[in-house]
C-alpha cells in the first residue's frame, strides 16, 4: 500500500496510467491489438511492434526536448530540422534507380546528424548569447527550415534505392525487431549514463529553476543553454535519418510535420513542468510511447490525420491544467471543503448518538 501511494505521487504516475488506459482500451475495442506474430524470416510484427517502431523518432526528439524545456525554453523547430536532416542524407546518397549510392553512406549519415547539430547550435546561439526568447528564436528555423529542405531537394521527393539505407529503420538480417528501436534504446542509455555519471542534469535543472542563482553559483548558464539546444538538434538529426529510412525517401513537405507538438506533449505528459526546472527522462520516454499509442488508436478508430491534432491539443490543455499551480490550489481547496463537510456530518451524528445515550 505504501509503495502504491509513493508511486501515485511520483512523476511516472500520469504517463504510466495514461499508457495503461490506452492499452486496455485498444485491447477491448481493437481486434488483434495484442497479437504478435513471427514471420518466416524471423521478424516480429503486430500493432505493439508497430507502435514501438513508430515511436522511436519521437522518443529521441523527446530526449532533446526534455533538456530544452528543463531550462525554461522551447524548441519548435525540431520538425523542420528533421526535414532538413532527411533531405541531406537522401540527397547525398542519391535517388539513382540502380541501387548505387552517390556518396558513402557513413558520410551521408554523419552529414545529416551534423546539420542537425548545426541547426541546434544556431538556436542555442540566438537563445543563450543574444537572449532572444526561445519560442521566437526557434520559430525562425521552424519557418525557414522546410524552405531549406525544399531547396536541397529542388521541391521533389527523393526516393533512395540504396539497400543499406533501409536498415536504419528496417530489419537487419536475422534481427527480430527494427533497427531504429535499438537506436532509440542506445540514445536513452546514453542520456541515462550522462545523468548518472556527470553533473549535466544538475546544471540543467539549476538553470531552469533560477538562471541568475545558477550563474552566481559558478555555472556557465550561457554554455549550458547553448549545449542543450545543440543536443536537441542532434536528436532531430537522428530522427530525420529514421524518418527518411522508414519511407526510403526525403519528403520536405511532410517529414517531421507537427513532430514538435508531439515531442512537447510527450515531455509534458512525462511530468516535466513546462515552466522549467526538474525533469524526468523516463517519463518523457513513456510519454512518447503513449502519444504514439494514442495516434495509432485514433487511426484504428477511423480518425483522420486532419482531426488528430485536435485530440492532441485537448490533451495538451488538460496536462497544462493539471500542472497549473492555480488548478492545484483550487483542487486542494475543494478537497479541504469536502473533508470539512464530512467531519461536520460525523460530528453531528456523534452528537445525536451521545444525546440518545
Listing DSSP states for 206-221 in one string gives HHHH-HHHHHHTT--H
pLDDT higher than 70, residue 355? no
Residues 220 and 284 in one domain: yes
Q: What is the pLDDT of residue 351?
A: 57
Residues 50 and 150 in one domain: yes
DSSP summary character for residue 222: H
Q: What is the mean pLDDT of the chain?
A: 89
Q: Name the grid cell of 329.
A: 490550489
Query: What is the distance of C-alpha 256 from the center of its chain?
Result: 12
- Sequence-distant (≥ 6) Cβ neighbours of residue 115 within 8 angstroms: 84, 85, 88, 237
Residues 264 and 215 in one domain: yes
pLDDT tens digits, one per residue of 204-238: 999 999 999 999 999 999 999 999 999 999 999 99
Q: What is the CA radius of gyration of the chain?
A: 24
Residues 304 and 328 in one domain: no
Residues 135 and 219 in one domain: yes
Q: What is the pLDDT of residue 288?
A: 95
Asked if residue 318 is part of any domain, the answer here is no
pTM, full prediction: 0.90
Q: Name the grid cell of 253.
A: 513537405
Burial of 37 by CB count in 10 Å (0-12 exposed, 13-18 middle, 19+ buried)?
exposed
CATH of the domain at 94: 1.10.3470.10
Residues 92 and 170 in one domain: yes
Asked if residue 1 is part of any domain, the answer here is no
Q: Name the grid cell of 15.
A: 504517463
Mean pLDDT for the stretch of residues 184-201: 94
Mean pLDDT for the stretch of residues 335-344: 79
Higher pLDDT, 56 or 329: 56
Asked if residue 6 is part of any domain, the answer here is no
Asked if residue 192 is part of any domain, the answer here is yes
Instruction: Grade residue 197 by pLDDT with cuts at 50, 70 and 90.
Output: very high
Q: Could you give the count of Cα atoms lying within 13 Å of 198 in the half-sphere of its Cβ?
A: 10
pLDDT tens digits, one per residue of 57-79: 999 999 999 999 999 999 999 99
Asked if residue 76 is part of any domain, the answer here is yes
Mean pLDDT for the stretch of residues 322-342: 77
Q: What is the pLDDT of residue 356?
A: 58
pLDDT tens digits, one per residue of 76-93: 999 999 999 999 999 999
Q: What is the pLDDT of residue 225?
A: 97
pLDDT tens digits, one per residue of 235-283: 999 999 999 999 999 999 999 998 998 999 899 888 888 888 889 999 9
Q: What is the pLDDT of residue 17?
A: 86
pLDDT higher than 80, residue 184? yes
CA-to-CA distance for 288 and 246, rounded, in angstroms? 18
Q: What is the pLDDT of residue 319?
A: 72
CA-to-CA distance for 261 and 25, rounded, in angstroms? 24
What residues make up the domain containing 51?
A: 14-309
C-alpha dist (Å) from residue 313 to 61, 94, 236, 256, 308:
19, 38, 22, 17, 9
Would you say 164 and 241 are in contact if contact means Cβ atoms under 8 Å apart? no
Asked if residue 214 is part of any domain, the answer here is yes
Q: Name the grid cell of 343.
A: 467531519
Q: What is the pLDDT of residue 11?
A: 74
Would you say 95 and 161 are in contact if contact means Cβ atoms under 8 Å apart? yes
CA-to-CA distance for 68 and 51, rounded, in angstroms? 25
Q: Name the grid cell of 271.
A: 511530468
Residues 227 and 260 in one domain: yes
CA-to-CA distance for 67 and 73, rounded, in angstroms? 9
Total domains in the chain come to 2
Residues 169 and 105 in one domain: yes
Residues 19 and 157 in one domain: yes
By mean pLDDT, which of 113-117, 268-272, 321-325, 352-356 is the weakest? 352-356
Higher pLDDT, 357 or 308: 308
Q: Name the grid cell of 350.
A: 456523534
Query: What is the distance of C-alpha 286 from the center of its chain?
Result: 9
Instruction: Grade residue 313 by pLDDT with cuts at 50, 70 and 90.
Output: confident
Residues 355 and 214 in one domain: no
Taking phi first (over 0 means left), then psi (-120 to 50 degrees means alpha), and beta for anything else, what does residue 278 get? Answer: beta
Listing DSSP states for 259-280 in one string gives HHHHHHHHHHHTT--TT-S---
Asked if residue 332 is part of any domain, the answer here is yes
CA-to-CA distance for 137 and 75, rounded, in angstroms? 8
Q: Judging by DSSP bridges, how do beta strands 36-38 and 158-159 pair with one another? A: unpaired
Q: What is the pLDDT of residue 127?
A: 97
Closest CA to 54 of 232, 234, 245, 264: 245
Asked if residue 4 is part of any domain, the answer here is no
Residues 261 and 341 in one domain: no
Q: Where are the alpha helices (DSSP H) in the chain?
A: 2-8, 13-29, 47-70, 78-93, 105-124, 134-153, 163-166, 179-197, 200-209, 211-216, 221-247, 259-269, 281-300, 308-323, 325-356
Residues 18 and 128 in one domain: yes
Amino acid at each position: 500500500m505504501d509503495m502504491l501511494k509513493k508511486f501515485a505521487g511520483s512523476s511516472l504516475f500520469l504517463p504510466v496510467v495514461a499508457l495503461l488506459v490506452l492499452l486496455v482500451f485498444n485491447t477491448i475495442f481493437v481486434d488483434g491489438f495484442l497479437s504478435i506474430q513471427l514471420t518466416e524470416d524471423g521478424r516480429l510484427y503486430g500493432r505493439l511492434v508497430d507502435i514501438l517502431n513508430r515511436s522511436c523518432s519521437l522518443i529521441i526528439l523527446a530526449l532533446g526536448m526534455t533538456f530544452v524545456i528543463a531550462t525554461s525554453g522551447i524548441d519548435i523547430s525540431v520538425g523542420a530540422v528533421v526535414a532538413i536532416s532527411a533531405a541531406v542524407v537522401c540527397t547525398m546518397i542519391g535517388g539513382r534507380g540502380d541501387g548505387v549510392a552517390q556518396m558513402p553512406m557513413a558520410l551521408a549519415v554523419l552529414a545529416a546528424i551534423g546539420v542537425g547539430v548545426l541547426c541546434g547550435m544556431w538556436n542555442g546561439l540566438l537563445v543563450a548569447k543574444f537572449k532572444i526568447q526561445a519560442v521566437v528564436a526557434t520559430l525562425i528555423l521552424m519557418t525557414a527550415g522546410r524552405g531549406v529542405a525544399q531547396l536541397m531537394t529542388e521541391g521533389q521527393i527523393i526516393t533512395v534505392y540504396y539497400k543499406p539505407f533501409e536498415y536504419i529503420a528496417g530489419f537487419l538480417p536475422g534481427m527480430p525487431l527494427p533497427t531504429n528501436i535499438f537506436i532509440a534504446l542506445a540514445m536513452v542509455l546514453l542520456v541515462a549514463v550522462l545523468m548518472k555519471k556527470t553533473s549535466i542534469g544538475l546544471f540543467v535543472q539549476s538553470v531552469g529553476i533560477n538562471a541568475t542563482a545558477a550563474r552566481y553559483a559558478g555555472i556557465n548558464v550561457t554554455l549550458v543553454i547553448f549545449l542543450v539546444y545543440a543536443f536537441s538538434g542532434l536528436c532531430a538529426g537522428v530522427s530525420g535519418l529514421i524518418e527518411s529510412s522508414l519511407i526510403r525517401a526525403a519528403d520536405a513537405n511532410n517529414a517531421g510535420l507537427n513532430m514538435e507538438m508531439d515531442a512537447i506533449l510527450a515531455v509534458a505528459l512525462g511530468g516535466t513542468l513546462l515552466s522549467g526546472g526538474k525533469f524526468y527522462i523516463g517519463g518523457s520516454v513513456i510519454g512518447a510511447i503513449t502519444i504514439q499509442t494514442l495516434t495509432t488508436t485514433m487511426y484504428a478508430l477511423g480518425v483522420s490525420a486532419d482531426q488528430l491534432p485536435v485530440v492532441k491539443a485537448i490533451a495538451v490543455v488538460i496536462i497544462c491544467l493539471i500542472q497549473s499551480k492555480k488548478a492545484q490550489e483550487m483542487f486542494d481547496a475543494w478537497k479541504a471543503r469536502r473533508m470539512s463537510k464530512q467531519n461536520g456530518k460525523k460530528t453531528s451524528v456523534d452528537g445525536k448518538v451521545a444525546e440518545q445515550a
